[in-house]
Amino acid sequence: MNTMNAETLRDWLEKGKPVTVLDIRSTADRSSWAIPGSLHIDAYAALKAHDAHALDGVVLPSDVPVVTVCNSGYTSQIASKQLQARGIESRSLEGGMQAWSFAWNTADVPLPSSTEVIQIRRVGKGCLSYLIGSQGEAAVIDASLQPEVYIDLAKSRGWSITAVLDTHIHADHLSRSRLLAEQSGATLYLPDQQRVKYRFTALRNGSIIKVGGASLMVIPTPGHTAESMSYLLDRQALFTGDTLFLQGVGRPDLHATTEETRSHAQLLHHSLHHHLLLLPARTLVLPGHTNTPTPFDKIPLTATLGDLWNKVELLRLSESEFVDALVARIPPVPPNHARIIELNEAGRLIENPIRLEAGANNCGIS
């Protein structure tokens, strides 16, 4: 059977190699997350039933290899065989959308200063992490991919990683920050809190981390979680974690009881209005997640604070309106979040986190 692994498909898409990605999942499955630019035919049930005409309706660009995709890489093999029988070069994506969870791409974030920022998008899940480089040194914020991704990217720019930070204790993915710090010899910085069971350097209000000639200033922004922090780079770019997104704000309920959720939403309103929104309107916001699959287009996902003020209606609400709106709009609780939090507090990774981390992130409210 001809197959392709997720890393190869990622590499092809990043390099712009011609490939048609054909998603054969049900429309319902596809609606939660998809590979950017993929074609879709809802052929899952027909393929499972070995209907030889399951793919008859699909129109594919000629002379472009096809990669078929399903949830876990089995039914897509049937699809690939059918296409091959039609003389089309076709492979099945090994592990399907579950394996795609680890796919990533990058975009450079232009800043007025000489500090360089690379946005690393875990496109299969919507997690955004950042590599900041200045004068041979680098920092990583919210590592969600295997450490080699960050270490190799830093090496390719001539930087060595000296600082690794998380914005908060994550609930949607396993943090790779502890392992990355160990493997790169960097200092691991986390918001000051009593939850994690391993050693780290605690960050507090106003702490400053030097990265080459750049500096990251710590701004506590509780709300999404009690310990959430944002990091301001050279007074130009603001890493907001799950406090502020490009379409909305962080959900306040994941680490809270139902009664606590309202007070966390109040805290979030305070963090936004008394800390982040007081910064200059031109400050570039770099969030911890996106809620749509990120194309392989090298365009960074960012906006200025001023743009977000105009675009995100939640930011213009009074405290009581904001709390009511958040509580009314809380999305479904992400699967496995309790187990992910437990592992992140223990600082542990598991051998095969594909199933644990499967599915789109669900951290924001817009």
Residues that bind Fe ion (CB under 5 A): 242, 363
Instruction: Give the nearest distance from C-beta 283 to Fe ion in angstroms.
Output: 21
Nearer to Fe ion, 293 or 334 (CB): 334
Nearer to Fe ion, 10 or 125 (CB): 125
Instruction: Give the nearest distance from C-beta 172 to Fe ion in angstroms.
Output: 6
Instruction: Give the nearest distance from C-beta 168 to Fe ion in angstroms.
Output: 6
Strands (E), the chain: 3-4, 20-23, 39-40, 66-69, 90-93, 105-109, 116-122, 127-134, 137-141, 160-165, 187-191, 201-203, 208-211, 214-220, 229-233, 237-241, 249-250, 284-287, 303-304, 364-365
Instruction: Give the nearest distance from C-beta 239 to Fe ion in angstroms.
Output: 13
Residue nearest to Fe ion (CB): 242
The SS3 call for residue 272 is: helix
Instruction: Give the nearest distance from C-beta 267 to Fe ion in angstroms.
Output: 14
The residue behind tokens 């096809």 is 66
Closest CA to 190 of 241, 237, 255, 252: 241
Nearer to Fe ion, 80 or 129 (CB): 129
Nearer to Fe ion, 186 or 340 (CB): 340
Nearer to Fe ion, 22 or 254 (CB): 254
Instruction: Dihedral sign for Cα 17, 22, 25, 28, please.
Output: positive
Nearer to Fe ion, 67 or 249 (CB): 249
CA distance 124 to 100: 5
Instruction: Give the nearest distance from C-beta 230 to Fe ion in angstroms.
Output: 13
